[in-house]
Structure 1
Amino acid sequence: MENEQRSNAGAPLMPGANLGETATMRAAVQHRYGPPSVLELSKIGVPLPGRGEVLVQVSAASVHPGDYFVMTGEPYMVRLVYGIRRPRHRVPGMDLAGVVAAVGKNVTTLRPGEKVFGWSTAGALAEYACVPARNLVPVPANLSFVDAAAVPTSAMTALQALRKIANVRPGQTVLITGASGGVGSFAVQIARALGAEVTGVCSTRNVDLVRSLGADHVIDYTRTDFTRTGKLYDVILDNVEAQSLTAVRQALTATGTLIPNSGRGGRWFGPLGRIVKARVLSGFTRQLLLPFMSVGKRQDLLTLTEMLLTGQVTPVIDRTYPLDEAADALRYVGAGHTQGKVVMTF
């Protein structure tokens, strides 16, 4: 990325300030799909909040595999949503935390100066971002901006998979692959909060971390294949796709639920092939194979806020990067071995 000094950025906007056409900000910008090197640190205009939107002065923004796929434009199916030839949104990133700088018309739930976190459709990797007010909630008093930014997409994915899709109940046995990753680290804690007996699958270096998150049992996949132990689980949340659907099903009870929250599938369709296969197989077995796409919901973020306040859930931060190292952050996430979340700081 370009080597640009922080002092070159425009002066910070005071909450409630009148935004003029000359206001500028630093942002990670991409004009085409490609590897992390396509990101450039640029100065662009500060966006103005539209009806129902809030302008957030971003303090921290997390990145996850979805951001990497959108940046690269692969699998190609993502371009149907984000732009066929080039990204529709020049500034990547979704999850953020910061301070309300200004509000648009009809926004009555938030005021300038409030600390908030949530998700946007794009644009989080910038000093300011416009976000629908319905996508934001107050930052819990016991969380930093870095911790708060780590929560939205990954934690909501874990919550929806376990509570809504699998309907996890007290006493059930739940196995989570990729238990040390972004979604997995939240899933271990949420499954415990729901009263399940939790088994986490991870590499050797992450065993202690997963155990510290509350897992009752930890399987080191470099030494043990969970599909061959003979142990059966009521629910499996597969965040890795290290084994085939057929192999993973062998570790399910006769009426168990498998949620495949991953899938490579090539440059064109990505996880779509695995999703279709899971749907087809589900019609021929009493087991439930339920791939899903998480959807941002304010009520889920409020539920997570309560869990964060009570200590049932704590974000795991792998490392932080300054904005001018956004390319390095996306490159690290794309490698697929994060311990918890990667967060950009401003």
Structure 2
Amino acid sequence: MKAATARRYGPADVLRIEDLPRPEPGPGEILIRVRAASVTTADWRLRAAEFPGGLALVGRMVAGLWKPRHLVPGSDVAGEVAALGAGVGGFEVGQRVLAVLGHGGHADYALAKADGAVVPLPEDMGFDEAAALPFGGLTALEFLRDVANLRTGQEVLILGASGGVGAYAVQIAAALGAHVTAVAGPGRESLLRGLGAERVLDYRKDEIAGRFDLAFDTVGATHWPQSRGLLGKQGLFLPLNFGLGDLWHLLQAKLSGGPRMVLHVSGDSRAGLEALLDLWRAGKLRPVIDSRFALKDIAEAHRLVETRHRAGAVVLEVGGDEAGNG
């Protein structure tokens, strides 16, 4: 099978397309014929060993001290069940599925744990649409619904609103009944209003004004000292990216008696994927895709994601023409 590999840390050029043996599913595993996969911020950080805010050593201990622990990158995939390991029930060969893997997704075939974050795909959802959902959608859902406990009528500020997480945060915040102010680069107003933002600001020229119940920073655009002036007394600053310095900010927030700050790392679950698909079926969430690339062009896809100036997800069409057609 064809697979993208990263045999050392470095720039996007370290990625190669190699012929590797097709994996075989063990007990409790599903083999997926990958048709589409997303390239996420996590993918380029793991490839480049670019871990934020003084977390380089911790990041390398998790991802691999001297080189990537896993040869084939990629987490979010959509495709078809190609084979079932022993003891797997509830899935059939040929079934269309969406899955979040630990690694190995940027290849023709990948393994998923049958009891993990893998769900059947709706018949009318394309593979590329599905692969665009998990990274941004699951993160936004968990941060807004579960951590912030966002409620109807609250005022929400979303920084990096057109990015891989922000584009879903706008939609999920609106679906939860919040009033959304979206901050992004120039030329994003039409997109963001279409996703549910009531106000759109260009970070290059517009001043952020008002008092918000929640400031969700999806790109590391600000820190606690700058954000607290934008929050009401019971407001919450929720950064997606944080480093060691933010632990000091967290202590300051706790001692201030005013707006709060929470640091959180999101996870992946079957229930989360099912919740995203329920929002999609209800017309409250749509996949946002910036660009599509063939697997052979994965280095170019990484370079685009690394700019942090995309509008939505970057998708690899691993199955050629079939990837977008379902």
Q: Quick check: TM above 0.5? A: yes
Instruction: Specify the code of the residue in structure 2 equivalent to 1:275.
Output: D
Deviations 1:13-45 (A, max 9, x none): xxxxxxxxxxxx000111111111111110000
Whether 1:92 and 2:73 are equivalent positions in the alignment is: yes
Counterpart Cα distance in 2 of 1:274 and 1:188: 27
2:35 aligned to 46, 49, 59, which one? 59
Instruction: Specify the code of the residue in structure 2 equivalent to 1:197.
Output: H
Cα deviation, residue 274, structure 1:
4.1
Show the counterpart of 2:322.
none
Q: Give the total of aligned pairs.
A: 311
Whether 1:35 and 2:16 are equivalent positions in the alignment is: no
SS at match of 1:338: coil
Cα deviation, residue 272, structure 1:
2.1
SS at match of 2:246: helix
Show the counterpart of 1:6.
none
Instruction: Specify the code of the residue in structure 1 equivalent to 2:66.
Output: R
Show the counterpart of 2:83.
102
2:92 aligned to 87, 108, 111, which one? 111
Counterpart Cα distance in 2 of 1:103 and 1:39: 30
Show the counterpart of 2:25.
49
Counterpart Cα distance in 2 of 1:64 and 1:187: 16
Deviations 1:71-100 (A, max 9, x none): 012223321111111111100010000000
Deviations 1:274-324 (A, max 9, x none): 431342123113322012111111111111110011110001100100000
Show the counterpart of 1:330.
302
Instruction: Specify the code of the residue in structure 2 equivalent to 1:345.
Output: E
Show the counterpart of 2:48.
72
Cα deviation, residue 126, structure 1:
0.2
SS at match of 1:249: helix
Counterpart Cα distance in 1 of 2:47 and 2:305: 12
Counterpart Cα distance in 1 of 2:275 and 2:160: 23
Counterpart Cα distance in 2 of 1:278 and 1:57: 45
- Checking the alignment, whether the CA contact within 8 Å between 1:69 and 1:78 is kept in structure 2 is no
SS at match of 1:48: coil
Deviations 1:154-185 (A, max 9, x none): 11000000000000011111110111011000
Show the counterpart of 1:138.
120
1:154 aligned to 136, 141, 158, which one? 136
Residue ranges of structure 2 left out of the alignment (5+ in a row)? 319-326
Show the counterpart of 1:82.
63
SS at match of 2:187: helix
Show the counterpart of 1:7.
none
Counterpart Cα distance in 1 of 2:244 and 2:69: 26
Cα deviation, residue 110, structure 1:
1.1
Counterpart Cα distance in 2 of 1:89 and 1:37: 17
Let me know the Cα RMSD of the aligned residues: 1.1
Whether 1:180 and 2:162 are equivalent positions in the alignment is: yes
Show the counterpart of 1:122.
103
Map 1:1-346 onto structure 2 (within 5 A): 25-75=1-51, 76=56, 77-133=58-114, 134-226=116-208, 229=209, 231-262=210-241, 271-284=242-255, 285-346=257-318
- Checking the alignment, whether the CA contact within 8 Å between 2:135 and 2:164 is kept in structure 1 is no
Query: Could you tell me the percent identity over the aligned residues?
Result: 39
Scaled by the length of structure 1, what TM-score is found? 0.88
Counterpart Cα distance in 1 of 2:60 and 2:86: 32
SS at match of 1:176: strand
Scaled by the length of structure 2, what TM-score is found? 0.93
